[in-house]
Amino acid sequence: MNEQIKNAESKMEKCIKSLEHEFSTIRAGRANPAVLDKVLVDYYGTPTPVQQMAAISVVEARNLLIQPWDASQLKAIEKAIINSDIGITPTNDGKALRLAFPQPTEDRRKELVKQIKKFGEEAKVTLRNVRRDTLEKFKTMKKNSEITEDDMKGLEKDIQKLTDKFCDTVDSTVADKEKEIMSI
């Protein structure tokens, strides 16, 4: 029984980590190397993440510097960034690429907040699905007479408390990210 709850807690923690990673890839006006996480470069026929091909550093609050380890791949990295959905055109100085993050407009910030809230709702749905699956396992155990009715009630309360705790974490994470975006 405790194993089931620990398993559910582990899945819920993974959900929160996934949400935080998703938030880190959202471009909110500040330079953040995580926006390049989904950018793949065609490196001799193999899609390769930019992080594996170049040193990426934040030089100023709104500027990223991408220095490829193999200078011949500068054009390929530039092309991959242009073709990606991050919406920034890199500046090529022959040795490195620079990404200047523009200040988002009020409309763009509101759009980002909507996107963040959507991710938060999806995370809550995932948490509730974990709760439902765990409760189904408890019901099966009760049906097979592995646990009593009283055990079942206690376990339902425990899994509900756990779900509420993680839903509160999602709400606070969404609120923090919203505050960060709107305060730019």
pLDDT digits (tens, 9 = 90+) for 83-129: 887 778 888 888 899 988 877 788 888 888 898 999 999 999 999 99
* Per-residue pLDDT at 160: 93
Q: Looking at the structure, tell me whether residues 39 and 21 fall in a common domain.
A: no
Q: How many domains does the chain have?
A: 2
Coil, helix or strand at residue 179: helix
Q: Looking at the structure, tell me whether residues 114 and 147 fall in a common domain.
A: yes
What's the whole-model pTM score? 0.69
* Per-residue pLDDT at 184: 59
- Domain of 149 in residue numbering reads as 2-25+105-182
Final residue before a domain boundary, out of 69, 100, 131: 100
What are the angstrom distances between the C-alpha of 70 and each of 54, 57, 183? 8, 17, 38
Which residues of the chain fall below pLDDT 70? 1, 27-29, 184
- CA–CA separation, 90 and 120 (whole Å): 31
Q: Looking at the structure, tell me whether residues 77 and 140 fall in a common domain.
A: no
Number of Cβ within a 10 Å radius of residue 1 = 15
- CA–CA separation, 33 and 51 (whole Å): 9
For 128, the token pair is 């509730």
CATH number at residue 150: 1.10.132.20
Q: Looking at the structure, tell me whether residues 111 and 144 fall in a common domain.
A: yes
Q: Looking at the structure, tell me whether residues 76 and 164 fall in a common domain.
A: no
Q: What is the DSSP letter of 183?
A: T
Q: Looking at the structure, tell me whether residues 166 and 133 fall in a common domain.
A: yes
Final residue before a domain boundary, out of 100, 120, 141: 100
Q: Looking at the structure, tell me whether residues 46 and 11 fall in a common domain.
A: no
Final residue before a domain boundary, out of 83, 100, 117: 100
Q: Looking at the structure, tell me whether residues 13 and 37 fall in a common domain.
A: no
Q: Looking at the structure, tell me whether residues 17 and 64 fall in a common domain.
A: no
Q: Looking at the structure, tell me whether residues 58 and 125 fall in a common domain.
A: no
